[in-house]
């Protein structure tokens, strides 16, 4: 919605304005699907007095997090909206999530006053922090072994909610990668407890955060019992869960899981797909709509759909459609997945820049690891299902691009983005995100199976070694890392 704040875009002009006028930046991290973001726009940013203070005393920048995940990861204050105060160089001075009008008014005055008073001290603290970011990691000499998988499985078991399914207490988010690990270990060992945990989780989510009328899963539940959903439906969430339900049916042959997977495909085909190929990003969290009875809902307009194509999420869904299509014997799902891969190759890829992150009529923002690695993975799936040589050529081309632009051949691991000359603040610093690196290791091991290229296996192995002294810090979120370790060890055994 339109607010009374004169929002600017993240870019050189906005940062130069902040420097020239010696003003703090007010960064609003928002999302089209986010209920509290809409509330903050309607209440706080549409308040005359607040808008006047912001327009006069700050340089306001609004960023949509789905379009700029690199900014989201660096400036997220613990949820969305994120209300972030930056100095003119783009470093965080203060921040919060949702801020109601009265508190925001006080905050705007307090942060500005404190910054004016302690500008030099704040700048010195930021410089110290930057030095910490740039300090080199000690080389790792850890050995890769089955013990790593066992330790991560132990964390999964320790955090499992045996009463409601899921992990942790609340809020409860779907964790498709943890279920992937449980299914893999069940298939490998035959241990029923791992299958039971995965199915308990799927059943709990289906009881609580599944839309029984229109199908598809909501993003998460505020409560431990899954019964109080946050109503946005995200493409990435549904991609992960579609894969889980398809595998659950494949293992158990239980028609319930088949039906749910088929319903999910029905929802995505109807609500989150373009006829030309490609999947839409999300459907809005409209609390009023979802509180209606199924019969009443039919008379109402469906919640808003963000018709932007996000390449990493599209790639996830391509892989899930190929997997589900194979398990459910749904040739149309497989065909649509391949059509989507072709759509992305045509509209969001070139050999010089790699994958672009989103397409909304034009391709926008390139140089992110997630788009390149997830698309590489789905292209491997597309190649296996079609045996089309053009995919094999692109697979090798994109793999080379990733190794050249993201892989750290000196210290190992993959950087999350390519640094650009007009980057500001925390964007000047590359990060090696644990989850994306774990997935990159998996994809490069798959690549090695396909190409036989030793450098692909070496990149995966080195990435696993890079995180060998920190993976335990991530608890059950290290599930994808465990999958990578398992793949590497099994490849070794298969030699």
Does the bond joining 171 to the residue before it have cis omega, within 30 degrees of 0? yes
The mean per-residue pLDDT over the stretch 50-75 comes to 97
Is the predicted pLDDT of residue 390 greater than 80, yes or no? yes
Computed over its alpha carbons, how large is the radius of gyration of the chain?
23
Question: Mean pLDDT across the chain, nearest whole number?
Answer: 94
Residue of higher predicted confidence among 59 and 296: 59
**Ramachandran angles phi, psi of 7, nearest 5°:** -65, 140
pLDDT at site 120: 76
Is the predicted pLDDT of residue 492 greater than 60, yes or no? no
Is the predicted pLDDT of residue 1 greater than 70, yes or no? no
- How many Cβ atoms sit within 10 Å of the Cβ of residue 158? 10
Identify each DSSP E strand in 278-347 by its residue range: 282-283, 305-306, 309-310
Query: How far apart (Å, rounded) are the C-alpha atoms in residues 303 and 287?
Result: 9
Confidence of residue 2 (pLDDT cuts 50, 70, 90): confident
Confidence of residue 296 (pLDDT cuts 50, 70, 90): confident
pLDDT at site 52: 96
* Superfamily covering domain 12-134: Glutaredoxin (3.40.30.10)
Query: How far apart (Å, rounded) are the C-alpha atoms in residues 276 and 201?
Result: 35
Is the predicted pLDDT of residue 130 greater than 80, yes or no? no
Is the distance from CB of 59 to CB of 70 less than 8 angstroms?
Answer: no
Q: How many residues are there in the chain? A: 495
Is the predicted pLDDT of residue 73 greater than 60, yes or no? yes
**Ramachandran angles phi, psi of 107, nearest 5°:** -65, -45
Query: How far apart (Å, rounded) are the C-alpha atoms in residues 431 and 84?
Result: 20
pTM of the model: 0.95
The mean per-residue pLDDT over the stretch 37-50 comes to 96
Instruction: Determine what percent of the chain is predicted with pLDDT higher than 70.
Output: 96
- Please give the C-alpha separations between residue 451 and each of 65, 132, 446, 459, 491, in angstroms, as whole numbers: 36, 39, 9, 14, 14
Is the predicted pLDDT of residue 216 greater than 50, yes or no? yes
Closest by CA position to 406, among listed 419, 397, 418, 423: 418
Confidence of residue 294 (pLDDT cuts 50, 70, 90): confident
The mean per-residue pLDDT over the stretch 60-75 comes to 97
Give the DSSP per-residue string, 330-399: -HHHHHHHHHHHHHHHHHSEETTTEEEEEESSSEEEE-BHHHHHHHHHHHHHHHHHH--HHHHHHHHHHH
pLDDT at site 472: 96
Confidence of residue 281 (pLDDT cuts 50, 70, 90): very high
pLDDT at site 295: 84
Query: Residues near 464 by Cβ (< 8 Å), separated by ≥ 6?
Result: 144, 441, 481, 484, 485, 488
Closest by CA position to 99, among listed 27, 32, 33, 171: 27
pLDDT at site 139: 62
The mean per-residue pLDDT over the stretch 78-107 comes to 95
- How many Cβ atoms sit within 10 Å of the Cβ of residue 167? 23
pLDDT at site 23: 95
pLDDT at site 494: 42
pLDDT at site 133: 57
Find tokens 């609580």 and name the residue: 208
Instruction: Determine what percent of the chain is predicted with pLDDT higher than 90.
Output: 88
Query: How far apart (Å, rounded) are the C-alpha atoms in residues 8 and 183?
Result: 47
Is the predicted pLDDT of residue 254 greater than 90, yes or no? yes
CB-side exposure of 120: number of CA atoms within 13 Å?
0
Give the DSSP per-residue string, 119-143: HHHHHHHHHHHHHHHHSPPPP--PP
pLDDT at site 495: 36
Lowest mean pLDDT among 62-66, 86-90, 222-226: 86-90
Residue of higher predicted confidence among 491 and 414: 414
Measure the CA angle with vertex 80, ends 436 and 417; round to 5°: 30
pLDDT at site 138: 66
Burial 103-116 (b: 16+ CB within 10 A, else e): ebbebbeebbeebe
């Amino acid at each position: 919605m339109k607010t009374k704040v004169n929002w600017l875009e993240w870019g050189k002009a906005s940062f130069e304005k902040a420097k020239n006028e010696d003003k703090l930046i007010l960064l609003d991290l928002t999302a089209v699907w986010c209920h509290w973001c809409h509330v903050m726009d309607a209440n706080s940013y549409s308040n005359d007095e607040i808008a006047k203070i912001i327009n006069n005393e700050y340089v306001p920048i609004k960023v949509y997090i789905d379009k700029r995940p690199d900014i989201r990861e660096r400036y997220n204050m613990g949820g969305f909206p994120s209300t972030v105060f930056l100095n003119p160089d783009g470093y965080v001075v203060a921040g919060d999530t949702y801020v109601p009008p009265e508190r925001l008014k006080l905050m705007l005055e307090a942060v500005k006053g404190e910054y004016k008073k302690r500008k030099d001290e704040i700048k010195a603290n930021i410089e110290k922090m930057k030095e910490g970011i740039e300090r080199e990691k000690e080389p790792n000499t850890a050995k890769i072994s089955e013990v790593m998988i066992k330790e991560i499985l132990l964390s999964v078991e320790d955090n499992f909610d045996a009463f409601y399914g899921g992990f942790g207490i609340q809020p409860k988010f779907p964790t498709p990668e943890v279920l992937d690990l449980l299914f893999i270990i069940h298939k490998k060992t035959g241990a029923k407890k791992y299958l039971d945990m995965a199915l308990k989780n799927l059943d709990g989510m289906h009881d609580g955060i599944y839309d029984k009328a229109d199908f598809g899963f909501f993003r998460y539940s505020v409560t431990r019992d899954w019964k109080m959903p946050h109503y946005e439906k995200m493409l990435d969430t549904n991609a992960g869960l579609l894969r889980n339900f398809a595998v659950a049916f494949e293992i158990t042959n239980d028609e319930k899981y088949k039906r749910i997977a088929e319903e999910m495909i029905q929802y995505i085909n109807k609500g989150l797909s373009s006829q030309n190929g490609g999947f839409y990003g999300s459907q809005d969290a409209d609390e009023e709509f979802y509180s209606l009875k199924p019969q009443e809902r039919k008379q109402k307009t469906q919640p808003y759909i963000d018709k932007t194509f996000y390449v990493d999420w599209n790639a996830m869904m391509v892989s899930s459609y190929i997997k589900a299509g194979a398990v459910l014997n749904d040739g149309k799902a497989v065909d649509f997945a391949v059509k989507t891969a072709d759509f992305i190759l045509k509209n969001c890829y070139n050999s010089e820049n790699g994958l672009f992150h989103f397409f909304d009529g034009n391709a926008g923002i390139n140089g992110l690891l997630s788009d390149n690695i997830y698309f590489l993975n789905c292209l491997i799936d597309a190649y296996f299902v079609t045996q089309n040589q053009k995919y094999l050529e692109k697979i090798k081309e994109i793999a080379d691009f990733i190794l050249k632009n993201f892989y750290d051949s000196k210290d190992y691991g993959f950087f999350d983005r390519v640094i650009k000359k007009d980057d500001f603040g925390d964007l000047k610093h590359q990060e090696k995100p644990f989850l994306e690196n774990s997935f990159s290791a998996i994809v490069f091991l798959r690549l090695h199976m396909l190409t036989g290229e030793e450098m692909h296996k070496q990149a995966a192995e080195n990435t696993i070694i890079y995180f060998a002294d920190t993976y335990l810090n991530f608890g059950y979120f290290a599930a994808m890392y465990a999958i990578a370790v398992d793949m590497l060890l099994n490849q070794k055994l298969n030699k």
